[in-house]
Amino acid sequence: MKVAVFMTPSARIAATVALLDAVASAPRRPADATANAFFRERRYIGSGDRRAVAERAWGILRQRLRLDWHIARLGLPPTPRLLVMAQLLLVEGWTRDGVLQGFPGGRFNAGPPDPGEMAAISAWAGAKLTPPEMPEGIALNLPAWALEGYRARFGAELPQAAAAMDQAAPLDLRANLLRGTREQAMAALAAEGIPAEPMAYSPWGLRIPDRRPILASKAFTDGLIEIQDEGSQLIALLTGARPGMRVADYCAGAAGKTLAVAAMMGNRGRITACDVSATRLEGAVKRLRRAGVDNAERHLLEPGDRWVKRRAGQFDCVLVDAPCTGAGTWRRNPDARLRTTARDLEELVTKQRDILDHVAQLVRPGGRLVYATCSVLPEEDGMQVQGFLSRHADYEVAPLAEAWAEARAGQSLPEAPPPCPGPWMELAPHSHGTDGFFAAVLRRKG
């Protein structure tokens, strides 16, 4: 008979320190990939303990800029042990004695604090996470390279926008219309004890307020649902794809938006998922099969590729879901704000410009080029579009309200106001409950 072994609070602390060590030794790797590998190698950690350890580590990554500031102020290095101590005291509200009990030493536990750590514990007991003397960017939890972009984008709403970006995100799902209706997906989830609510903006969206292990659910394995943020669903909607069209998803990755667009096309017409990453495109195969998509092909873009040139003017719609900083997704990937630099931003802006300039020729006269990012930074969003328009006189903006109404009509959806005013779609957690997204619909003049 197997006997379940549960971790003590101090063993959980030791495991969190070990996980943060693993994250620190792979600084360019997304933390969730490191965490998955960490738990795979420690299968003896039960699911409840795994969740508790991962949640605390995630909380620390979410607060990392602020915790680092508190640690640096004491002239100490941001070791995983100090980060955990700071999190317990400054974020989770533990007492000094509680923390000392959490680091008792001995087998399976973290060792007792050294003199520097003791001084830190005393300094942080009862202290505020964001004291008035904390610099603005750190108090807002925004890295220096993104602060001014955030300010330019949100203006007076900056504090609310930054605060909402700090909260954990809900679990967003998209009902796959190739397998059933949204109501059927909802009923299937409810039958498995998973309550889901229809979303405010996406006609296919279902939201689950707290995180659930959805991948093992029958609704998921049967292809009734996909995991996809509401903002991503709206980007797919803005392609205005309809049955019979010829569509290119130029930066398709593992086909997240290809799946949504193929469903809009009712599997009729053709969608090509392109990417420079063979691994990502490979990841699309299983997803396309599970979702019942049979009008999609994949194309790996290689250096010197003539695929675009040969297909000039052939597409009704080209979606460029551009590589970007992901500065709108920090609710889900809190560590990304730490892994990205001002240099990365600069390089990405150049890459986005080059991709847009290259694919402009693919769209037929009268067709759409949809440019999207999961960033809220103007350099990657509106400024990028304005730059494109200044170089391509054969393109114009299709104003959001118009593109939105046309896309909904193409799906036989009733009229509904667009999610925001203005020429393009700008979404954010505080205003829309989605991740931060941008999408502009550009029309090639006929």
Ligand X SMILES: C[S@@+](CC[C@H](N)C(=O)[O-])C[C@H]1O[C@@H](n2cnc3c(N)ncnc32)[C@H](O)[C@@H]1O
What does the per-residue mask of binding to ligand X show for 352-391, with x meaning CB under 6 A?
Answer: ---x------------------------------------
Q: How far is the CB of 147 from ligand X (least distance, A)?
A: 23
270 burial class (0-12, 13-18, 19+ CB within 10 angstroms)?
middle
Chain residues 221-240 in contact with ligand X, contact rule CB under 6 A? 232
Q: Of residues 103, 145, 250, 388, which one binds ligand X by CB under 6 A?
A: 250
Segments in 63-102 forming alpha helices (H): 64-73, 80-86, 96-102
CA–CA gap between residue 32 and residue 30 (Å, rounded): 6
Query: How many chain residues bind ligand X (CB under 6 A)?
Result: 16
Is the Cβ–Cβ distance between 388 and 371 less than 8 Å?
yes
Which SS3 state, helix, strand or coil, does residue 337 take?
helix
CA–CA gap between residue 351 and residue 418 (Å, rounded): 29
| Residue 109 near ligand X by CB under 6 A | no
CB atoms inside a 10 Å sphere around CB 213: 11
444: left (phi over 0), alpha (psi -120 to 50) or beta: beta
Q: How far is the CB of 388 from ligand X (least distance, A)?
A: 15
CA–CA gap between residue 124 and residue 86 (Å, rounded): 7
> Length of the chain in residues, anyone?
446
Q: Of residues 270, 280, 332, 339, which one binds ligand X by CB under 6 A?
A: 280
| Residue 256 near ligand X by CB under 6 A | yes
What does residue 224 show for φ and ψ, rounded to 5 degrees?
-75, -25
CA–CA gap between residue 112 and residue 86 (Å, rounded): 15
Q: How far is the CB of 230 from ligand X (least distance, A)?
A: 13
CA–CA gap between residue 146 and residue 140 (Å, rounded): 11
In the bound state with ligand X, the residue whose beta carbon lies nearer, of 95 and 341, is 341
CA–CA gap between residue 350 and residue 352 (Å, rounded): 5
| Residue 254 near ligand X by CB under 6 A | yes
Q: How far is the CB of 274 from ligand X (least distance, A)?
A: 6
CB atoms inside a 10 Å sphere around CB 269: 18
In the bound state with ligand X, the residue whose beta carbon lies nearer, of 249 and 316, is 249
Which SS3 state, helix, strand or coil, does residue 298 take?
strand
Residue 374 appears among annotated catalytic residues? yes
Q: Which of 251, 274, 324, 374 is catalytic?
A: 374
Q: How far is the CB of 405 from ligand X (least distance, A)?
A: 24
Q: How far is the CB of 15 from ligand X (least distance, A)?
A: 31
Is the Cβ–Cβ distance between 49 and 6 less than 8 Å?
yes
Which window, 35-43, 274-282, 331-339, 403-411, contacts ligand X (CB under 6 A)? Answer: 274-282
| Residue 424 near ligand X by CB under 6 A | no
What does the per-residue mask of binding to ligand X show for 314-333, with x meaning CB under 6 A?
Answer: -------x-x----------
Binding residues for S-adenosyl-L-methionine: 275, 321
CB atoms inside a 10 Å sphere around CB 403: 26
CA–CA gap between residue 401 and residue 424 (Å, rounded): 8
Q: How far is the CB of 321 from ligand X (least distance, A)?
A: 4
In the bound state with ligand X, the residue whose beta carbon lies nearer, of 138 and 355, is 355
Closest CA to 208 of 177, 419, 47, 192: 192
Residue nearest to ligand X as judged by C-beta position: 256
Which window, 18-26, 72-80, 211-219, 272-280, contacts ligand X (CB under 6 A)? Answer: 272-280
Q: Of residues 275, 335, 379, 435, which one binds ligand X by CB under 6 A?
A: 275
| Residue 288 near ligand X by CB under 6 A | no
Q: Of residues 109, 160, 184, 277, which one binds ligand X by CB under 6 A?
A: 277
Give the footprint of ligand X on this chain (CB under 6 A): 232, 250-254, 256-257, 275-277, 280, 301, 321, 323, 355
Residues classed as catalytic: 374
